[in-house]
Amino acid sequence: MGTQPRIPAAPPLATKWAKYVVGFGVSVAVGLAPYLGRLNVPLFTPLLNLIPPSVQDTAIPLSAALMGIVAVLIEWYGMSKLTLDTVQKWFSRTVLWIIAGFILLTIIQTRVVARVSMSGGKETASFLVGLHDPHTPPCERLGKAECIKLITTDPAKIESHWGDDNIANAKLALLFSYLAFTSGFGFLVGLLVLRQGMTTPTPKKKT
């Protein structure tokens, strides 16, 4: 039997880079699994439940990747010499960012997500619909939920009724508003961590 070729070891910087990529890309996502909605926590409903299942498979990896980027930024700025005034300024701006993201997410989610009662009202399911109602048969005068019940709950048929472009625009709007809010929250918590690591300078006594 031939011997396996020996793979040369990666340079130290490349090895460290690989560990950082795994740390920020994987460990952050694993640590945030309850917040991202991958783990069920008693008495806690994740924000991901606002998004229909057909969009969750896209939202989760994008949100995890974005949180990893936020973690890298916090680590970077944590190694920089930031002043207390700078952190406080960023904190105020991030709060405004989160408020705007929250309002946008609420509006978009209300417009493009239809909740349908099933099993006699014992269960509910959410479905992605278009930003604009097509007002075409057989749903000319029906609401979104009633229309979905009429044309069945098959996402493919729902997409055909509302139109591919209409559904795609709704999906993009929902994803961007969701990611804007979740990343803003992650960055806000990161600023809190930076603030805790800083010491408030004591005022100089007047002579």
Closest CA to 115 of 50, 170, 172: 50
Cβ proximity of 106 and 114 under 8 Å: no
Residue 5 pLDDT > 80, yes or no? no
Q: Mean per-residue pLDDT for 131-157?
A: 85
Q: How far apart are CA 27 and CA 44, in angstroms?
A: 22
How does the average pLDDT of the chain come out, rounded?
A: 86
Six token digits for residue 133: 């109602």
Mean pLDDT of 63-79: 91
Which residues, in sequence order, are CB contacts of 32 under 8 Å at separation 6+? 64, 67
pLDDT digits (tens, 9 = 90+) for 75-86: 998 888 788 899
Q: Integer distance in angstroms from the first to the last C-alpha of the chain?
A: 85
Query: Nearest 5°: phi and psi at 173?
Result: -65, -40
Give the distance from CA 68 to its chain's centroid: 11
Give the number of other Cβ atoms within 10 Å of residue 143's Cβ.
11
- Domain residues for the domain of 84 are 15-196
Span 99-110, average pLDDT: 95
Q: Per the structure, how many domains does the chain have?
A: 1
Flag whether 9 is in a domain.
no
In a domain? residue 113:
yes
- Does residue 6 lie within any of the structural domains? no
7 part of a folded domain: no
Residue 4 lies in a domain: no
- Is 202 within a domain? no
Per-residue model confidence as pLDDT tens digits over 15-55 = 888 888 888 888 888 888 888 887 878 767 788 888 999 89
10 is a domain residue = no
Of the two residues 7 and 155, the one the predictor is more confident about is 155
Write out the two tokens for 194. Answer: 């930076």
Long-range contacts of 156-160 (CB under 8 A, 24+ apart): 158/127, 158/128, 158/129
Let me know if residue 91 belongs to a domain.
Answer: yes
Query: Per-residue pLDDT for 128 more than 90?
Result: yes
